């Protein structure tokens, strides 16, 4: 036997029981906590079950209900509900300055569109030749230049200053004619190429002070044509075209006073002598 004071495993001591022994009320603290948690979980499950049952009962009641707002347990959204869910926006009230600005923008766009259409139409008319645009200030129309009508004397060749230009297709023609004119005593200054719209064999060009010199050169080539410009000196431009055939022989040059030949100028020069009267027609001759 063990003594009473040993405090063996099977005997309680005065200071309390050993670990693992039950408390005087028969339950340990751990058992109480577990029991409370178990009861809380049970109550939670019971609450979820009741919520499900209530929802089921509500759906079942809706199905059995004759309320048109519900169909098979689903709520039907009518026009009133839609208008409440999606209210129509109110018409905005714009400030007067905003209205004026929008009107100005609209008018500006319309004007720009009209200008673009007008430009396209005008461009098409110009391209087709239906309209001719003259930009800038128009120059005043110069007075018509008439052919000189005075009778001119034939001046000496040495007093004539001439520029020889080649407007034909044959190369070197201006140089050859310039040498031939130098042999005849003319003062040749410029020898170069040029262009002209005239079709006469030679075009003789001078200013008002060069009429006599031009008359001289016209008698040295057949079928020449005189053209006047606004130069101030008495120099002559002797322009050779593709129809040029050659100079008149020096011994055959007519030095009789006369008029310049300029058929393109208006009016044409009138002869200084009256034309001889035409013979009377022969009554027995058929014209």
pLDDT over threshold 90, residue 144: no
DSSP string, 198-217: --SSEEEEE-GGGHHHHHHH
At 212 the pLDDT is: 94
**Cβ(161)–Cβ(133) under 8 Å?**
no
At 147 the pLDDT is: 84
* Count of CA atoms in the C-beta half-sphere (13 A) of 243: 13
User: Which of these ranges, 21-25, 129-133, 233-237, has the smallest mean pLDDT?
Assistant: 21-25
User: Which of these ranges, 55-59, 70-74, 164-168, 203-207, has the smallest mean pLDDT?
Assistant: 70-74
Tell me the per-residue pLDDT of 36-61, one tens digit each, with 9 for 90 and over. Answer: 888 888 889 999 999 998 888 887 77
Q: What is the 3-state secondary structure (H, E, C) of 173-198?
A: HHHHHHHHHHHCCCEEEEEEECCCCC
One of 3.40.50.150, 3.30.70.2390, 2.60.40.10, 3.90.78.10 is the CATH number of 157-252, namely: 3.30.70.2390
**Which residues have CB under 8 Å from 173's CB, separation 6+?**
166, 240, 244
Reported as a pLDDT band with limits 50, 70 and 90, residue 246 is very high
pTM: 0.45
pLDDT over threshold 50, residue 151: yes
Tell me the per-residue pLDDT of 219-234, one tens digit each, with 9 for 90 and over. Answer: 999 989 999 889 999 9
* Domain layout of the chain by residue ranges: 33-87, 157-252
């Amino acid at each position: 036997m063990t003594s009473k004071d040993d405090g063996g495993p099977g005997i309680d001591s005065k200071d309390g029981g050993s670990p693992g022994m039950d408390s005087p009320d028969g339950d340990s603290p751990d058992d109480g906590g577990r029991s409370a948690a178990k009861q809380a979980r049970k109550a939670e499950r019971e609450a979820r079950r009741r919520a499900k049952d209530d929802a089921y009962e509500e759906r079942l009641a809706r199905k059995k209900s004759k309320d048109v707002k519900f169909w098979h347990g689903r709520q039907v959204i009518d026009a009133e509900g839609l208008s409440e869910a999606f209210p129509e926006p109110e018409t905005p009230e714009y400030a007067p300055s905003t209205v004026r600005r929008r009107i100005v923008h609209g008018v500006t766009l319309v004007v720009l569109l009209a200008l673009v259409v007008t430009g396209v139409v005008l461009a098409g008319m110009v391209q087709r030749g239906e309209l001719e645009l003259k930009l800038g200030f128009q120059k005043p129309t110069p007075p018509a230049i008439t052919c000189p009508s005075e009778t001119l004397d034939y001046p000496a060749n040495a007093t004539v200053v001439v520029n020889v230009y080649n407007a034909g297709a044959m190369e070197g023609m201006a140089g050859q004619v310039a040498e031939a004119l130098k042999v005849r005593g003319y003062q040749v200054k410029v020898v170069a190429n040029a262009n002209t719209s005239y079709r006469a064999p030679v075009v003789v060009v001078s200013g008002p002070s060069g009429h006599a010199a031009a008359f001289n050169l016209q008698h040295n080539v057949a079928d020449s044509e005189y053209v006047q410009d606004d130069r101030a000196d008495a120099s002559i431009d002797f322009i050779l075209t593709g129809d040029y055939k050659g100079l008149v022989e020096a011994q055959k040059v007519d030095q009789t006073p006369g008029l310049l030949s300029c058929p393109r100028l208006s009016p044409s020069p009138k002869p200084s002598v009256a034309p001889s009267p035409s013979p009377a027609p022969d009554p027995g001759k058929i014209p």
